[in-house]
A and B are shown apart, each in its own frame.
Chain A
Amino acid sequence: MTETIICHTEDRVCQGDIFRDIEYFDSFSIDAGIVEIARISFPHIVVLTQDCDLAQDLTFRHGDSRNQDKVLLSILVAPIYNLEFFLNGEHLSELDLSMRDFRHGSKTAINDIKNNSNPRYHFFDFGRESQLPPSIVDFKHYFAVNIKYLEDQRRNNRLFRIKELYREDISQRFSSFLSRIGLPDE
């Protein structure tokens, strides 16, 4: 499967935007007068929040609206991992997390991932022009970022946008993953 990317012309954060170097604020503590702020820096993320919500946020935040009814508090994103590291289960090794090693499993499992048949993962092949290698989104790892923070990153750290059809595919698969029903083990 091949993903298609487009140049960005929008002057706002959009659904399907790919950013680099985005930080997730992991924890905050104060002990004996020392403030500790722990963050996780992700090399790449994709924006998952619905595009109409993002557009309305901009209108209500900066426009002449009588209220701020459509303003968002945060933007939902998901990290993008290098496929090679992911298949080896090493993509979160810098966080001291060991993940599933697909290399030593069945090829069917890998093919399911690459065909987007595994609901937890979304496989990207952005193409050579993107300068990114084949990549994977793990829907379990979604997180929220402050909207002002992401806006501030837009000028220097936004790489490109996924074309609408592929963007909707991610959105549909993500919502399907979130709405799954966990049944008890018998």
Chain B
Amino acid sequence: MNEENVLVSPEYREFTQDQTLVEPEEEKIGEYPGESILKPESSAYEKYVVSKPRRVTIYAKILDD
């Protein structure tokens, strides 16, 4: 992909500013190329790459009038 044609919204760039990218050629995880380009120790990796769909349940009590 021509990276010059790729733009990211300012909000997202700000959000990910502490991320550390690793060249895909230098570090590949898994059997197939390009499957992991983020360092596992980065905070973004922890939250958005490692994270999976999860269940969130909340409880509330109905108050009497």
Contacts and interface: CB of A to CB of B under 8 A. Distances in A.
A159 B36 CA distance: 19
A109 interface: no
A34 B62 contact: yes
A41 B32 CA distance: 28
Interface size on B, as a range, is: 35 or more
Given A4-B6, A84-B29, A84-B30, A94 B19 contact: no
Chain A interface, DSSP helix/strand/loop, else mixed: mixed
Nearest to A79: B53
Given A35-B59, A39-B57, A131 B44 contact: yes
B52 A160 contact: no
Interface size on A, as a range, is: 35 or more
A36 B12 contact: no
B30 to A, nearest CB: 6
Interface of B: 1, 3, 5-9, 11-12, 16, 19, 21, 24, 29-32, 34-38, 44, 48-62
Interface of A: 2-8, 20, 23, 26, 30, 33-44, 79, 81-85, 87, 90-95, 103, 110, 114, 125, 127-134, 155-156, 158-160
10 contacts: A37-B60, A42-B53, A81-B53, A84-B36, A95-B53, A125-B1, A130-B6, A133-B38, A156-B11, A160-B8
